[in-house]
């Protein structure tokens, strides 16, 4: 017999898909409309209180992403990102394997700071993709390396929005995730970058391309060019290792403090103008988070969330892990953040006998894979755009095997969560 809660959920997802793919509405607005539809078909009318409460469920995460984007723009405009890119190429052009890994980590960095694969592609991806092409990569391979690095950046510490969302759903504080997330993502970053580039690991003509590379500002500003990231790392380390030394101010304050330092550490720029640009770039992600919050609030109100949790808890272990590996990335075709909230939370509850920090870390990486799932496939679409490839499916084709390996590695980490917890936590 068809459960009424399942019917509500199917209708909400169908309306969301219709809004996204038929009427081409932004994901955040589509999720809000589907949430309102769920309330109407369940007989709750339009409960304004629940919708507003849901929209602000992820206020802390929204502030983190907004301020992180400002910080990312600062280190982009003050010359730090250009300098690091140029230094890597000059240092390692004769060792292409190390260069590929280093450039991949540059793409990872904005994702680490913002929790968004889109931000990683549109900032660092724009910088490094021409270098891949100079090295002889076909456009679709260069885009695939960028897309995969961006997906890993979304899951890497210190800011993992998917983990924040799942943790918020099971009342797990975002503490102690750094080592588990590094253990999860770093091997994947190294393996994937080398796997995709294995046919093109040859020394290229540096003299031919050096005039077209990003400019290095190290001779102009010296070490102070890196003050923003140094200040940010110090603030984070202080919170982790010396929590009683100063009151905890929160990640948004840390990002803003480091960004303000960046005003005086390198090239001059208009702070207000780039802040406006950063918030403008972040708005689609922030809108998705507000829509996800409304969607989840309505799922709770209508009983859909409880229905999903109960059915997840009743699955035998082998089906549970298979369901996790398939459903969380596939639901990312709707939204990676939505997948973390709609499916990540009940699956985390179903695995409470395992260490929750390790489990949530692995679930967050699976959710990040959702940014490769068509038709939305944000990481793949934007990576294709920056290299001039019109058909993003040519890019996604090269991401299939790395994505499968990523999912398998995440499941292995989940299965051995308690063992890893004794080592890492």
Q: Give residue-wise pLDDT tens across range 96-120.
A: 899 999 999 999 988 888 888 888 8
Q: Could you read off the pLDDT of 179-232 as tens digits, one per residue? A: 999 999 999 999 999 999 988 887 777 777 777 777 888 888 888 999 998 998
The model's pTM is 0.79
Average pLDDT over residues 128-150: 90
pLDDT value at position 179?
93
Does the pLDDT of residue 398 top 70, yes or no? yes
Average pLDDT over residues 110-132: 84
Choose the weakest-confidence range: 161-170, 201-210, 301-310, 410-419: 201-210
Percent of the chain at pLDDT above 90?
A: 33
Asked whether the bond before 423 is cis by omega within 30 degrees of 0, the reply is no
pLDDT value at position 19?
87
Average pLDDT, the chain: 87
DSSP 399: H
Between 59-77 and 161-169, two packed helices, what is the crossing angle to 10 degrees?
Answer: 170
Angstrom distance (rounded) from CA 217 to CA 87: 10
Which residue carries 């590094």 as its tokens?
182
Angstrom distance (rounded) from CA 180 to CA 193: 21
pLDDT value at position 402?
95
**In which band, very low, low, confident or very high, does the pLDDT at 89 lie, cut at 50, 70 and 90?**
confident
pLDDT: is 361 or 206 the higher one?
361
Domain that holds residue 218: 4-424
pLDDT value at position 216?
86
Q: Could you read off the pLDDT of 273-325 as tens digits, one per residue? A: 999 998 888 888 788 778 878 888 898 889 887 787 777 777 787 788 998 99
Q: Could you read off the pLDDT of 228-252 as tens digits, one per residue? A: 989 988 887 776 566 666 666 777 8
pLDDT value at position 67?
87
Residues 169, 375: contact at Cβ < 8 Å?
A: no
In angstroms, the Cα distances linking 117 to 109, 149, 159, 160 are 10, 8, 12, 11
Average pLDDT over residues 336-343: 83
Residues 236, 158: contact at Cβ < 8 Å?
A: yes
Angstrom distance (rounded) from CA 272 to CA 293: 29
DSSP 238: H
Angstrom distance (rounded) from CA 21 to CA 16: 9
Euclidean distance between the first and the last CA atom of the chain, given in angstroms as a whole number: 45
Angstrom distance (rounded) from CA 314 to CA 276: 48
pLDDT value at position 160?
92
pLDDT value at position 141?
94
pLDDT value at position 246?
66
Does the pLDDT of residue 375 top 80, yes or no? no
Angstrom distance (rounded) from CA 133 to CA 380: 17
In angstroms, the Cα distances linking 213 to 77, 88, 98, 125 are 16, 11, 18, 14
pLDDT value at position 241?
63
Provide the domain count of the chain: 1
Residues 160, 153: contact at Cβ < 8 Å?
A: no
Angstrom distance (rounded) from CA 69 to CA 84: 19
Q: Could you read off the pLDDT of 324-334 as tens digits, one per residue? A: 999 899 888 76
Token pair in block for residue 398: 């090269």
Alpha helices, DSSP H, located in 267-355: 271-302, 304-313, 317-331, 336-339, 345-350
pLDDT value at position 399?
94
Coil, strand or helix at 422: helix
Helix %, strand %, coil % of the chain (to 5): 80, 0, 20
């Amino acid at each position: 017999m068809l459960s009424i809660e399942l019917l509500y959920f199917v209708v909400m997802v169908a309306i969301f898909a219709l809004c996204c793919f038929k009427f081409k509405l932004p994901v955040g607005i589509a999720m809000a409309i589907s949430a309102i539809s769920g309330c109407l078909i369940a007989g709750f009318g339009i409960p304004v209180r629940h919708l507003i409460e849901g929209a602000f469920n992820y206020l802390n995460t929204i502030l983190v992403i907004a301020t992180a984007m400002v910080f990312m723009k600062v280190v982009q405009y003050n010359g730090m990102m250009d300098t690091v890119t140029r230094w890597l190429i000059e240092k390692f052009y004769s060792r292409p394997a190390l260069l590929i890994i280093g450039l991949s980590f540059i793409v990872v960095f904005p994702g680490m700071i913002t929790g968004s694969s889109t931000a990683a592609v549109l900032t660092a991806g724009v910088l490094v993709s021409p270098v891949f092409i100079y090295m002889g990569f076909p456009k679709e391979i260069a885009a695939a390396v960028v897309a995969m690095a961006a997906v890993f950046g979304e899951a890497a510490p210190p800011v993992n929005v998917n983990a924040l969302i799942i943790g918020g759903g099971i009342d797990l504080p975002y503490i102690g995730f750094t080592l588990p997330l590094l253990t999860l993502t770093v091997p994947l970053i190294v393996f994937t970058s080398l796997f995709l580039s294995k046919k093109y690991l040859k020394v290229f003509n540096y003299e031919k391309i050096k005039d077209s590379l990003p400019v290095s500002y190290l001779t102009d500003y010296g070490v102070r060019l890196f003050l923003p990231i140094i200040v940010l790392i110090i603030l984070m380390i202080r919170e982790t290792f010396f929590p009683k030394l100063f009151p905890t101010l929160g990640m948004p304050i840390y990002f803003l403090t480091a960004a303000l330092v960046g005003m005086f550490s390198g090239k001059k720029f208009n702070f207000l103008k780039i802040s406006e640009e950063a918030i403008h770039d972040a708005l689609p992600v922030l809108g998705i988070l507000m829509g996800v919050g409304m969607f989840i609030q309505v799922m709770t109100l209508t009983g859909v969330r409880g229905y999903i949790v109960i059915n997840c808890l009743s699955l035998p272990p082998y089906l549970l892990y298979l369901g996790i590996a398939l459903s969380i990335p596939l639901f990312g075709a709707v939204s990676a953040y939505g997948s973390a909230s709609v499916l990540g939370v009940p699956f985390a509850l179903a695995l409470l006998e395992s260490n929750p920090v390790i489990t949530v870390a692995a679930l967050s990486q699976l959710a990040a894979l959702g940014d490769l799932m068509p038709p939305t496939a944000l990481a793949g679409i934007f990576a294709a755009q920056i290299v001039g490839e019109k058909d993003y499916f040519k890019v996604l084709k090269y991401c299939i095997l790395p994505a499968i390996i990523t999912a398998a590695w995440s499941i292995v980490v989940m299965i051995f969560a308690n063992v890893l917890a004794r080592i890492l936590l």
